[in-house]
Amino acid sequence: MTKRRSFAALAAGAAFTLFLAGCGDDDGDDSTQTESGDEAGGGGQLTVGGADFTEMSVMQQMYKALLEDAGYDVSIQQVANREIYAPALSSGEVDVVPEYAATFGEYLNVQANGPDAPTESPVATTDAAETVEAIRPLAEEEGLVLLEPAEAASQNGFAVAADFADENGLQTLSDLAALGEPLVLAAVEECPDRPFCQPGLEETYGLEFSEMLPLGFSTPQTKQAVADGEADLGLVGTTDGTLEGFGLVLLEDDQGLQLADNLVPVVNEEVAQDQAAVDALNELSGVLTTEDLAALNAQVDGERQRPEDVAVAYLEEKGLL
């Protein structure tokens, strides 16, 4: 049975996922606003929207390439945050956005039921399919439809030095807890108050901390502190493509502390009735893994490739283009 967990930290952002590094350059056409497509079957105009950072840029470019391959004229419209693009999606100004299931679900929960809803009546769980099904009625109230979630999930993760993991046979957070030693944690300043950060590690895994270094979410400072031995454990993103370069490895969240922030296409009602568009977007969900997404992020952030080039190469590799 899947456990339900509170989402009290909603206002702080997408379970820390939105703290990832900024995106690369976009084509000039990508900022052009278009009307939602009126023609079904791959002949209309569509706008892909969403936030402006690396991971979202890559996702938007993959959606764009798939929809163009299906016969649509597609533009990308990036904005600062969900509070801006979600209403545009409902109104039809934007047609599709890549979203994080749990975080988007609790955003809708707040819109429908007030700011205390994520704590008192959460809809998100640690299971992606269960979370998406729970969200669907809330999305329908806003004129939105969630398509199929991907295996890829962008969540809070906790990393240790690879050498430390090898020396102690660590693969999971439970393995780390079994060492029974107080740890130094590098994370965001609010970590001691956030249920999916220090309190969750203490309550779910029994980890003990002697110190918390406020160095940020998946920042170079947090990763370097763990690499240098100044911290034992660092708060990072599960799709951070730079961990290997710092000599770090993720420990598996084997007790299911984090919610199911799987990538899922969200479309307005008009697009949901267009099977060609739905099929194109669901194809990506069927193949995209967390490891794939981390590698794509690394190509943009680490190798300075363009998101559109990375997106097309991946889709071609997977036989989707």
Per-residue pLDDT tens digits for 129-186: 999 999 999 999 999 999 999 999 999 999 999 999 999 999 999 999 999 999 999 9
- The pLDDT of residue 25: 40
264 within 8 A of 132, measured Cβ to Cβ: yes
Q: What is the pLDDT of residue 41?
A: 53
* Amino acid identity at 29: D
Any bridge partners for residue 77, and if so which? Answer: 49
Domain ranges of the chain: 10-153+259-317, 156-251
CA distance 20 to 214: 16
Q: Does domain 10-153+259-317 have CATH number 3.40.50.300?
A: no
Query: Tens digit of pLDDT per residue, the chain (321 long)?
Result: 333 333 333 333 433 333 333 333 444 344 333 333 334 456 799 999 999 889 999 999 999 999 999 999 999 999 888 989 999 999 999 999 999 999 999 999 999 999 999 989 999 999 999 999 999 999 999 999 999 999 999 999 999 999 999 999 999 999 999 999 999 999 999 999 888 999 999 999 999 999 999 999 999 999 999 999 999 999 999 999 999 999 999 999 999 999 999 999 999 999 999 999 999 999 999 999 999 999 999 999 889 999 999 999 999 999 999
Which superfamily is assigned to 156-251 in CATH? Osmoprotection protein (prox); domain 2 (3.40.190.120)
Residue 148 CB coordination number (10 Å): 17
User: How far apart (Å, rounded) are the C-alpha atoms in residues 297 and 144?
Assistant: 28
The encoded tokens of residue 321 equal: 């283009």
* Domains 10-153+259-317 and 156-251 belong to one CATH topology: yes
pLDDT value of residue 22: 37
Q: Give the whole-angstrom CA distance, residue 164 versus residue 88.
A: 47
> Helix, strand or coil for residue 188?
coil
Q: Tell me the C-alpha distance between 63 and 232, whole Å.
A: 38
Gap between the Cα atoms of 117 and 69, Å rounded: 40
Please, are residues 204 and 257 in contact by the beta-carbon 8 Å criterion?
A: yes
Cβ neighbours of residue 128 closer than 8 Å, sequence gap 6 or more: 101, 149, 151, 153, 260, 262
Tokens standing for 43? 């002949």
